[in-house]
Structure 1
Amino acid sequence: MANKQQQAHRQSLEDPEGFWMKHALELVDWDKRPTTALPGGPASHRTEWFPGARVNLCYNAVDRHAAARGDQVAVVYDSPVTDTVRRYTYSDLLREVQAVASMLRRHGVRRGDTVLLYMAMVPQTLFGILACARLGAVSVIVFGGFASAELAKRIQDSRPRVVLTNTCGLESRTKIVAYKPLLDAAYELARFRPQSTIVLQRDQLRVPIDGARGEFHWDAELAAAAPDAPAVGCEPVDAGHPLTVVYTSGTTGMPKGVVRPTAAHIVALLYAQRYMYGLQPGEAAFTLSDFGWTLGQSYAAYGPLLNGSQTVLYEGKPVGTPDAGQIYRVLSQHKVRVMLCAPTAVVVLRRADPDGLFRTKYDLTHVRGLFLAGERLTPEIHRWWSATITGRTPPPPDAATIVCDAEIAGLVSDNWWQSESGSPMTGICIGLGTSGADVPPVKYGSAGLMMPGCDLRIVRVADDLEEGDAEPAGRELQLADRDEVGAIVLKLPLPPGFPSTLWNNEERFVKEYFCRYPGYYDTGDTGMVDSEGYVHVLSRTDDVIKVAAHRLSTSSIEEVIFGHRAIAECCVIARPCPVKGCVPMVFGALRSDVAQGTAAEQVRHEIVQLARTRVGPIVSLYPHNVVFVDRLPKTRSGKILRKMMRMMVSAVCEDGAQSPDECPIGVPATIEDASVMMSIWRSIIEACAPA
């Protein structure tokens, strides 16, 4: 019998009009209510949800709650790097957002203008994001400290009327990243300077402001705008009006500016908040992600506030600011009910505190759900996090599922997002019922069940198709059977919340997502749907290794390697092979209690044997292709830079690069620590050097 989540999913596909209209009218305050959810006609990549309706996100996230529950806490700013905890009620939030909106209006911002925010994880960033929505302006949020070259591309493409920035970001209590020089360099590269650059001075770094170049002090401009602030109302916009532009963080070429339509995004976020995450008004949500990433925008900025809940803004890292107990402290101190983060954060915690000693200091019995997204959650990490958070005995390695208790408490679940989707496409809904009996079992290794509106299919990848090729005209797509691995696609029409286009590039929008598999959105991911309807996202399409004509998922190999007790984290990429085409190459970081030298060599051979036993001899993993490193290269959002590593291996194995001090691969704009890149480069040269 289908569970409540599967029933809701079926209803959303059989009657999308009725399903989404019901939730749109129940959850959203409209300036002009929709009369239909989905226009008729053939399914198209340009699905306009709630046509004819008008709405304002800021009103739904701030004003209506300030009127109903003004004294309730809306925002908690927790910064261990500055020893600051500050709370804002909904009434406080309304005043702050009105003030910033008034400031932006004084600088000429009107409906449809773009405003770029290049800021740290501070409350003023949130005020700016919501102020843009209040005015009907289009926010472009760029991760603070982003490299000048990549920042310049986003400035050049979006051409903002105003840029909001602050003087610095704080990596730790002693490490300061100066933003102003990076922004100035980006202006030069872009050959574009906005009408106004408004700079928030932080105590940790104060810089000169040049009024002749259109630069202004945030505090002074805010004070000047204060008298008009109460009169700055919410500007209603059409349902499809761009709310924000989210630039994907590619390592080469121009990033894609995903345009998020307003009304559909509001409905999608509210549905997920209430029914997937089970978050109720007044409860606290903690999203460990910067505003510059989709997860941070959707669920640190918009989602909890739309829902009338609290959002916890955290300025710091899982470890080192100052210790590995910060996540547990935040969960406990702010009575967090729901947490979202990337699996990498958990991997880092396990490496720093494998026995969960910091966890034992805090009462976390109030935590209802912990959701992980951004990379695949391996079963080993899933089991460790579940046991650590709940304080229960770890499940046996052969355990296939977690069944929810009678009371929903401490449930850990993977959920699958993309920058494009804006909200989860799969996961486990803990908010569709009042007890654990209403929650589907969590299955290790899967990303959960399909979310309403997401009609996911698996397509067999034809051997004669190269990466990027479109299906030949007239050839029918070969949909895969259950438990069969292939390309994951989403049947049109796109569900609410997906992009309406790419900023200034409709042609690329169609080519990138809809040409390869006509009638479907190409997710770019590989995976399968099992016999019970659970979706298993194995890897990006370009993370599939073809070994002697056999397609192997790198994440499947990683899952096996993670099972070795000595491995703290790892990633697998393809190494060119003249005989088999490609073979896997493992980069792993050992746990701190594992000795180097002889012990490491033993682990290397054990990993090879483990892969041959669990995956099969076809895996073709050899000891010389198991490389131990101190750290893996990651983005600031915690994703491992696999593409960069593949390019490095190719440069050595195919192009013959051999200099340990000159890497021909450019430094990715999103890398957290560039020094790790050169360390990896030298390890690759050593491992791939001719015998």
Structure 2
Amino acid sequence: MSDDSLAQLLDTPLRPLPPGWTVADRVESLAKARALEPDDYWEWVARQQRWTREWDTVRTGGVSDFRYFEGGLINVADNCVDRWTEDPATADRAAIVWEGEPGEVRTVTYAELADEVSRLAAGLLDLGVGEGDVVAVYMPNLVEAFTTIHACNRIGAVYTVLFSGFGEEAVASRLQAARAAVVVVADASYRRGRRVQLLSTLRSALTRCPSVRATVVVDRTGDGVALREGERSYADVLAAGAGGAPAVPLDPNAPSFLIFTSGTESRPKGVVHSVGGFLLGSWANAHWQVGREDGDVYWVAADVGWLTFPIQAVVGGLACGMTVACFEGALDTPTPARFYEICERHAVTKILAAPTLIRMLRKFGDDLAAAHPLPGLKLITAQGEPLDGDTFAWATDTFDVPVINAYGQTETGSTWTYPVYGVDPLKAGSAGTPVPGHTFAIVDDSGEPVPPGVKGNLVLTGPFPTLCRTVWGDHQRYLDTYFAKFPGSYATNDEAVLDHDGHIWVLGRADDVINVAGHRISTMEIEAVVTSDPDVVEAAVVGVPEETKGTVPIAFVTLRSSSDDGVADRIRALVAGEMGGYARPDRVYVTPAMPKTRTGKTMRRLLRDVVVHGGPTGDTSAMEDPAALEAVTEVVRG
């Protein structure tokens, strides 16, 4: 990033919240929370939950070997589900409002959810699932994903969610690595108007997964599934557990949730989150980032296979007693109006999504947004990728609501820096300031802190309950990956800069920094400039080898209009003018779509592969729409 570009970013003005957006009691509560030391704050969070037995010590250990609330016993399902059934006012409150892509709608109250979770937990026990056993969840956004996760929480099983877009190889490798005992699977899912066969994919994968003892099949399509040996229907498992099962008091440091992430490495890591840690951090995340208010319907417009969904919906949202909206399918199917129609149909008040969704809505146009004004909407919060300033401004102006940009990682188990809803002023594109309980630093490659306005490595300097505890089956890999580079701190492997108002700006992965003729530059920084062109809806920049310069940036863009006359030259000139000639993209490809995961993250690795190798060289099973990659390949090949 050039000095001028960095100065412009750091001079971004604060955007105060209008009085109507301030929630008075949250202002006072947050001020008190921010005055606490981290351990005192986490003790306050713990006291918002229900414990079977209180703890002896808040924390022991440092950032890489910590334990919280030793001696205490707690159950996640008890806190997310059972506690809300004890008051008639909340027992009859909708916990989940679900809509399938074909249009079905199902509403489940907290009382109904508690009953189904208890019966499913008993049914899993009947299948031989015990405390510490791994249960894989292989399905789209269904009510049964909620019930399965909390049935596991109820009996102390460890759940792992497999993205429903995974193919046979990806499913098999993760089941093998997890040593899963049981898989709960939907027979199929609906995506973009077609059925995606999940059970048949699982059956093929299971030939290589001897640890799996049983499969539980959810009849999503209603076709009636012909079961094979080792398979039980979800309905039969519920019936077998008709008597229900009590919530098991658990060590808050015991493993609860196993999620696979490749991060910056090619071999997926099974990141482990703990029982109490994940509950406390998820509750706090939903409490500050979203903030339940009477009448709220909170839509987490993400896939259950993305950690954000378990954090904000399945655990955090329910732990806060919220009504959570859940949608199965694609948000542009059967028409671009589907997003708006869901908001209207279910009276959605708050939305969480990846920035990709907001960019998609912007691409669909102002006329469509004007036809669906959404007067009940109070908040949009985005995470998962950097939120560019233009997208922030469009969403803020179009919907007249705060747009919160939050930052976290799979490994941190929650977002930990963002403007708190209803309290903190906003800056277009910044990740705000750290929420209570988290301490950070921005350091140079030697681990020395850098002053505000200077880029560096973003690290977390103290532990917190939602930070992952280990890598499944490989603790040394955990230590080497996250704590070796900066001893005594957790390395995010992201670059960031702190501005003079104390706001954190996350600039992108440290490994996305490329060296162009001796100049180090982040591809994310180039993307921010490219997206400032008024015709560009979305951009992705990757570095590719070049004989003279070593590496050169290549830009891929999607446009608001169908004409691309002069766009490439204009973008190259724009980047050169903003950042310097060394950052000018070597090539600019205009493409109708980008390859993305179902969670909305652009698969830059595949873009790089197409340019360098002519096609993908690694796993593409997480890709949402193979046609997008085909379109990119056709453009690159000319």
Q: Structure 2: how far apart are the matches of 1:524 and 1:448?
A: 19
Q: CA deviation at 1:664?
A: 5.8
**2:408 counterpart letter in structure 1:** W
Task: From 231, 234, 251, give the equivalent of 1:218.
Answer: 234
User: For 1:306-385, what aligned pairs fall within 5 Å after superposition?
Assistant: 306-319=319-332, 321-351=333-363, 353-355=364-366, 357-362=367-372, 364-385=374-395
CA deviation profile, 1:77-131 (whole Å, cap 9, x unmatched):
122x221121111111111111211211110112111111111211111111110
Q: CA deviation at 1:671?
A: 1.0
Is residue 2:598 matched to residue 1:636?
A: yes
Q: Structure 2: how far apart are the matches of 1:4 and 1:421?
A: 27
Q: Structure 1: how far apart are the matches of 2:382 and 2:237?
A: 39
Is residue 2:131 matched to residue 1:111?
A: yes
Q: CA deviation at 1:217?
A: 1.9
User: For 1:293-304, what aligned pairs fall within 5 Å after superposition?
Assistant: 293-304=306-317
Residue 396 of structure 1 corresponds to which residue in structure 2? none
Is residue 2:147 matched to residue 1:127?
A: yes
User: For 1:145-156, what aligned pairs fall within 5 Å after superposition?
Assistant: 145-156=165-176
Is residue 2:524 matched to residue 1:572?
A: no
1:167·1:205 contact (CA, 8 Å) conserved in 2? Answer: no
1:153·1:254 contact (CA, 8 Å) conserved in 2? Answer: no
**1:50 counterpart letter in structure 2:** F
CA deviation profile, 1:34-68 (whole Å, cap 9, x unmatched):
243222x5x24021111111100000011110112
Task: From 63, 79, 88, give the equivalent of 2:108.
Answer: 88
**1:149 counterpart letter in structure 2:** E
Q: CA deviation at 1:251?
A: 9.1
User: Where does the alignment leave 5 or more consecutive residues of structure 1 unmatched?
Assistant: 391-409, 432-438, 462-475, 652-659, 687-691
CA deviation profile, 1:510-569 (whole Å, cap 9, x unmatched):
111111111111111112111111111111112112222222121221111112122121
Q: Structure 1: how far apart are the matches of 2:264 and 2:289?
A: 32
Q: Structure 2: how far apart are the matches of 1:579 and 1:203?
A: 56
Distance 1:139 1:648, change over 3 A: same
Q: Structure 1: how far apart are the matches of 2:573 and 2:221?
A: 55
Q: What secondary structure is seen at the aligned counterpart in 1 of 2:514?
A: strand
Residue 73 of structure 2 corresponds to which residue in structure 1? 54
CA deviation profile, 1:435-484 (whole Å, cap 9, x unmatched):
xxxx22211121111122222211223xxxxxxxxxxxxxx522222111
Residue 453 of structure 1 corresponds to which residue in structure 2? 437
Residue 579 of structure 2 corresponds to which residue in structure 1? 615
Is residue 2:532 matched to residue 1:563?
A: yes
Q: Structure 1: how far apart are the matches of 2:285 and 2:444?
A: 30
User: For 1:173-212, what aligned pairs fall within 5 Å after superposition?
Assistant: 173=193, 175-188=194-207, 190-203=208-221, 206-211=224-229
Q: What secondary structure is seen at the aligned counterpart in 2 of 1:240?
A: coil
Residue 416 of structure 1 corresponds to which residue in structure 2? 407
Task: From 260, 279, 290, give the equivalent of 2:303.
Answer: 290
Is residue 2:168 matched to residue 1:141?
A: no
Task: From 515, 518, 539, give the equivalent of 2:508.
Answer: 539
Higher relative contact order (CA 8 A, sep 6+): 2
Residue 77 of structure 1 corresponds to which residue in structure 2? 98
**1:608 counterpart letter in structure 2:** R
Q: What secondary structure is seen at the aligned counterpart in 1 of 2:67?
A: coil
Q: Structure 2: how far apart are the matches of 1:92 and 1:204?
A: 21
Is residue 2:247 matched to residue 1:234?
A: yes
Distance 1:442 1:5, change over 3 A: farther
**2:428 counterpart letter in structure 1:** Y
1:282·1:308 contact (CA, 8 Å) conserved in 2? Answer: no
Residue 479 of structure 1 corresponds to which residue in structure 2? 449
Q: Structure 1: how far apart are the matches of 2:32 and 2:519?
A: 38
Residue 675 of structure 1 corresponds to which residue in structure 2? 627
Distance 1:250 1:529, change over 3 A: closer
Is residue 2:472 matched to residue 1:503?
A: yes
CA deviation profile, 1:608-646 (whole Å, cap 9, x unmatched):
111112112232334xx0111121111111111112222
Task: From 555, 566, 570, give the equivalent of 1:606.
Answer: 570
Q: CA deviation at 1:177?
A: 0.5
Q: CA deviation at 1:284?
A: 2.1
Q: Structure 2: how far apart are the matches of 1:556 and 1:339?
A: 27
1:428·1:440 contact (CA, 8 Å) conserved in 2? Answer: yes
Is residue 2:33 matched to residue 1:21?
A: no
Q: Structure 1: how far apart are the matches of 2:388 and 2:32?
A: 27
Residue 279 of structure 1 corresponds to which residue in structure 2? 292
Q: What secondary structure is seen at the aligned counterpart in 2 of 1:270?
A: helix
Distance 1:440 1:236, change over 3 A: same
Q: Structure 1: how far apart are the matches of 2:593 and 2:115?
A: 44
1:280·1:307 contact (CA, 8 Å) conserved in 2? Answer: no
Q: Structure 2: how far apart are the matches of 1:314 and 1:418?
A: 23
Q: What secondary structure is seen at the aligned counterpart in 2 of 1:197?
A: strand
Q: Structure 1: how far apart are the matches of 2:637 and 2:443?
A: 37
Residue 464 of structure 1 corresponds to which residue in structure 2? none
1:667·1:674 contact (CA, 8 Å) conserved in 2? Answer: no
Residue 274 of structure 2 corresponds to which residue in structure 1? 261
Residue 406 of structure 1 corresponds to which residue in structure 2? none
Is residue 2:58 matched to residue 1:37?
A: yes
Q: What secondary structure is seen at the aligned counterpart in 2 of 1:606?
A: helix
Q: Structure 2: how far apart are the matches of 1:51 and 1:326?
A: 47
RMSD of aligned residue pairs (Cα, Å): 2.2
**1:263 counterpart letter in structure 2:** G
- Under a length normalisation based on structure 1, what TM-score does the superposition of the two structures give? 0.85
Q: Structure 2: how far apart are the matches of 1:574 and 1:31?
A: 53
1:36·1:51 contact (CA, 8 Å) conserved in 2? Answer: yes
**Sequence identity, in percent?**
30
Q: What secondary structure is seen at the aligned counterpart in 1 of 2:216?
A: strand
CA deviation profile, 1:670-690 (whole Å, cap 9, x unmatched):
11122332432343345xxxx
Q: Structure 1: how far apart are the matches of 2:566 and 2:29?
A: 46
Q: CA deviation at 1:305?
A: 0.8
Distance 1:615 1:253, change over 3 A: closer
2:404·2:421 contact (CA, 8 Å) conserved in 1? Answer: no
Residue 528 of structure 1 corresponds to which residue in structure 2? 497
Distance 1:309 1:282, change over 3 A: farther
Q: Structure 2: how far apart are the matches of 1:93 and 1:664?
A: 43
Q: CA deviation at 1:363?
A: 5.2
Q: Structure 1: how far apart are the matches of 2:155 and 2:149?
A: 10
Q: Structure 2: how far apart are the matches of 1:137 and 1:303?
A: 19
2:606·2:616 contact (CA, 8 Å) conserved in 1? Answer: no
Q: Structure 2: how far apart are the matches of 1:270 and 1:191?
A: 35
Residue 398 of structure 1 corresponds to which residue in structure 2? none
- Under a length normalisation based on structure 2, what TM-score does the superposition of the two structures give? 0.91
- Equivalences, count: 612
2:97·2:324 contact (CA, 8 Å) conserved in 1? Answer: yes
2:38·2:438 contact (CA, 8 Å) conserved in 1? Answer: no
